[in-house]
């Protein structure tokens, strides 16, 4: 099957090829790969022999193109989609999947049949009339027990109150005998409660035992299903064979030690493309991946935007697959920061200072980059051993950053952030013009976004919306002005989650309009147009309300 597509019109003389293979983890694709991607997008916009609802909820799909050179030196490109498309693993014009179908056919039908049988056993047991009757009986008995114990507790409470009155009003001559009798009555109440509890334990025990036995059977079946599913997945990933230009070959499983590879590993567009190129003796030139269709429910992908290869599934395997190629280093869109005088001081006294962090400078040292606001300030103030940043701004975000000179001051200011008495205002430019009217006719000039966020474990450091395990994040927003293709906006974050403003802007349940220049959630161009413009807090020593502002540089 020949999957190579030719450029139409042919490449022009000024359209140069990269000297080495650009990193698939770079944020901006090489122009020649972008041209191939645009050609594929044109094909996707036309008629197909297959049908797929790209605009339907969760219908969006990641596509990839790989520019290649054949044995005669001719340049063309390959196309691929992640996972399945239109319910198929293979479609005309796209490279095939990585897995060895024969290997999968040898074990998967029997394995799936066993899983189906376990599912049937689980359903029969879990939804059996007998189990339902036992659960209903158990709930009824527990309710009756609780009522009986509550009635007895009320009776005992009244008796206790009466005894307290008797203790307070007893004549001194009769006090000793009365106290002995009242103590006996108190002990009698306790014995009565213990006896009632024991009676109900005896009544509940047979039913609880029967329910427990069925629950143990259910747990055993679920564990058996889990073990079988894990074995099948391990066998499945052994059927994904990866190769490189050096003639080496490995299975996907070999890149994840003892742990199970994430679901879908090897099904992304990038490894499919590179594997096919190796198998066909084609020379990889440049790669690009883009999203096509509606945004996913959890993560953030926008129609037509380019994205680097994912970190969770592709980063472990692509370095092996690219061995033997002349690789270019990974390119970043962030600013190369070389201003030795940054950051500038906006406010300073003997207890704290506020700086204007420029875009492109880390707040604190990272794993690979030491240069940061904190590093520079500690060099500038060597006598301040307790100098600490109270909060942080993303590397690409500019604006006001609060710094404590001493640990007690840092602790006080942190408490203000925890109690949310610190006021923050950000200004941003969105990459789209927000609509002026809602569907119900209301003016869309302000609002509140509330979404539960957590890290995307398969694609760090991206964050995602997760209603099961995410932490709630709240942002108030207000439109400043609308341009032809942009919107200038104020953000007032009520919480401070990682990438909160960037994700609230980009997500379809937020504003559905990425911040201009956002290389993680939008399109990587120039700098991120997000600036911490205003900061208000209580001075930890004087108690004075400090109000500071610094205009955005854009």
Q: For 361, phi and psi rounded to 5 degrees?
A: -115, 130
> According to DSSP H, which parts of 341-424 are helical?
373-380, 407-418
Strand partners, 481: 488
Spatial separation of the C-alpha atoms in residues 210 and 138, rounded to whole Å: 10
Query: At which residue do the structure tokens 């006996």 appear?
Result: 184
Spatial separation of the C-alpha atoms in residues 534 and 426, rounded to whole Å: 7
Spatial separation of the C-alpha atoms in residues 263 and 269, rounded to whole Å: 15
Spatial separation of the C-alpha atoms in residues 500 and 438, rounded to whole Å: 24
CA atoms within 13 A on the CB side of 108: 14
Q: What is the DSSP letter of 523?
A: -
Give the end-to-end CA distance of the chain in Å, rounded to a whole number.
Answer: 51
Strand partners, 389: 403
Spatial separation of the C-alpha atoms in residues 64 and 287, rounded to whole Å: 7
Q: Would you call 394 a catalytic residue per the annotation?
A: yes
* Strand duo 530-538 + 398-404: pairing: parallel
With contact defined as beta carbons under 8 Å apart, do 4 and 76 qualify? yes
Strand partners, 81: 63
Which residue of the set 189, 267, 394, 412 is catalytic?
Answer: 394
Angle at 137 between CA 131 and CA 139, to 5 degrees: 105
Spatial separation of the C-alpha atoms in residues 313 and 323, rounded to whole Å: 18
What token pair was written down for 85? 């498309």
Strand partners, 452: 472
Spatial separation of the C-alpha atoms in residues 535 and 417, rounded to whole Å: 11
Q: For 493, phi and psi rounded to 5 degrees?
A: -70, 130
Contacts of 95 (CB under 8 A, 6+ apart): 3, 78, 79, 80, 272, 273, 275, 276
Which amino acids are annotated catalytic? 394
């Amino acid at each position: 099957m020949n999957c190579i597509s030719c450029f139409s019109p042919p490449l022009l003389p000024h359209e140069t090829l990269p000297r080495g293979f650009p990193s698939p983890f770079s944020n901006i694709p090489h122009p020649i790969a972008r041209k191939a991607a645009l050609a594929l997008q044109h094909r996707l916009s036309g008629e197909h022999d297959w049908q797929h609802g790209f605009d339907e909820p969760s219908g969006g799909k990641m596509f990839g193109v790989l520019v290649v050179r054949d044995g005669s030196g001719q340049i063309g490109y390959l196309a691929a989609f992640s996972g399945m498309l239109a319910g198929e693993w293979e479609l005309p014009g796209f490279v095939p999947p990585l897995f060895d179908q024969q290997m999968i056919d040898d074990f998967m039908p029997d394995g799936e049949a066993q899983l189906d049988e376990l599912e049937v056993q689980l359903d029969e047991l879990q939804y059996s009339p007998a189990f339902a009757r036992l659960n209903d009986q158990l709930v009824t008995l527990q309710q009756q027990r609780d009522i009986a114990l509550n009635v007895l507790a009320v009776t005992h409470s009244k008796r206790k109150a009466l005894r307290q009155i008797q203790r307070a009003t007893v004549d001194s001559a009769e006090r000793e005998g009365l106290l002995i009798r009242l103590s006996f009555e108190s002990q009698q109440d306790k014995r009565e409660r213990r006896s009632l509890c024991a009676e109900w334990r005896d009544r509940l025990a047979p039913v609880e035992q029967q329910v427990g036995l069925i629950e143990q059977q259910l747990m055993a079946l679920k564990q058996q299903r889990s073990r079988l599913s894990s074995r099948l997945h391990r066998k499945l990933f052994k059927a994904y064979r990866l190769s490189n230009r050096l003639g080496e070959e490995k299975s996907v499983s070999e890149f994840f030690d003892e742990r199970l590879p994430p679901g879908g590993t090897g099904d992304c567009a990038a490894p499919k493309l590179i594997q096919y190129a190796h198998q066909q003796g084609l020379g990889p030139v440049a790669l690009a991946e883009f999203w096509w269709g509606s945004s996913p429910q959890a993560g953030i992908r926008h129609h037509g935007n380019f994205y680097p290869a994912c970190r969770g599934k592709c980063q472990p395997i692509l370095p092996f697959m690219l061995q033997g190629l002349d690789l270019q280093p990974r390119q970043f869109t962030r600013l190369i920061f070389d201003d030795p005088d940054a950051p500038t001081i906006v406010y300073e006294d003997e207890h704290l200072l506020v700086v204007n962090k420029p875009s492109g400078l880390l707040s604190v040292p990272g794993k690979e980059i030491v240069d940061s606001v904190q590093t520079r300030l500690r060099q500038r103030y060597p006598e301040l051993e307790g100098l600490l940043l109270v909060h942080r701004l993303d590397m690409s975000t500019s604006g006001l950053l609060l710094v404590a000179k001493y640990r007690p001051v840092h602790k006080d200011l942190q408490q203000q952030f925890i109690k949310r008495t610190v006021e923050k205002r950000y200004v941003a430019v969105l990459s789209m013009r927000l609509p002026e009217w809602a569907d119900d006719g209301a003016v869309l000039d302000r609002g509140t976004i509330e979404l539960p966020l957590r890290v995307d474990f398969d694609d760090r450091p991206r964050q995602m919306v997760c209603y099961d395990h995410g932490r709630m994040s709240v942002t108030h927003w207000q439109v400043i002005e609308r341009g032809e293709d942009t919107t200038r906006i104020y953000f007032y974050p009520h919480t401070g989650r990682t990438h909160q403003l960037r994700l609230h802007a980009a997500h379809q349940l937020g504003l559905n309009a990425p911040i201009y220049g956002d290389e993680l959630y939008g399109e990587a161009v120039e700098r991120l147009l997000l600036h911490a413009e205003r900061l208000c807090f209580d001075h930890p020593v004087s108690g004075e309300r400090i109000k500071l502002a610094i205009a955005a540089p854009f």
